[in-house]
Amino acid sequence: MGAHNHVCAFFQNREEEYEVLLPFIREGFDRGERAFHIVDGALRADHMARLGRAGIVVENAGDRNQLAVHDWDDVYLRGGQFLQQDMLALVDQVLGDEVATSFPQTRVVAHMEWALGDFPGIDDLVEYETRLNYVLPRYPGPVVCVYDSARFGAGLALDVLRTHPMVILGGVLQVNPFYVPPDQFLRELRERKERVVES
């Protein structure tokens, strides 16, 4: 996917999400690619069970480093806060370390409902998603940011949509016509902050 490997996926519920994403995940395993998943810790067992029902032997995959499943508290919210620069560095490390480069590519699936919590740094979510577009084109694999459209407000959802060059809507992957390149969107975010300060 190259420069278009940053994908935003909006789903109404978990059933719709897994109906769409499990074939994508399974395809990666069949091709010998690596999977890196970030999930709600409370739903980790359900996630693993769904992978198993899709025919993925999760125990063997983990033993071969082909599958890594992490709780979002240990990735996005380390120390009980979201630090976007630390997270960008972690993404760079995960996609470029020795384990990742031993596979053809890494397919990332990242659940994003952690951003609905009340944690320091949460307000930097949109800027983080924008800055990912500087990091991800260096790597071949797709990164799918999964959003529950029923839980995110329209304003935030639209901003998030504008940070992804590709989008899954209604179960269909497509080029995102609302995408704004990171230089342009970061300027817009700075201008918004300036207007808030002035008011």
Q: What is the pLDDT of residues 175-199, one digit of tens each?
A: 999 999 999 999 999 999 888 777 6
pLDDT the model gives residue 86: 96
Task: For residue 12, count CB atoms less than 10 angstroms from its CB and return exposed for 0-12, middle for 13-18, buried for 19 or more.
Answer: exposed
Residues 118-136, buried b or exposed e (16+ Cβ, 10 A)? ebebeebbbbbbbbbbebb
CATH fit for domain 2-198, picks 3.40.50.200, 3.40.50.300, 3.30.70.260, 2.60.60.20? 3.40.50.300
Q: What is the pLDDT of residues 48-99, one digit of tens each?
A: 999 999 998 888 766 788 999 999 999 999 999 999 999 999 999 999 999 9
Residue 2 — very low, low, confident or very high, per pLDDT cuts 50/70/90?
A: low
Mean pLDDT over 117-136 rounds to 96
Two tokens at 53?
Answer: 């029902």
Q: What percent of the chain has pLDDT over 70?
A: 97
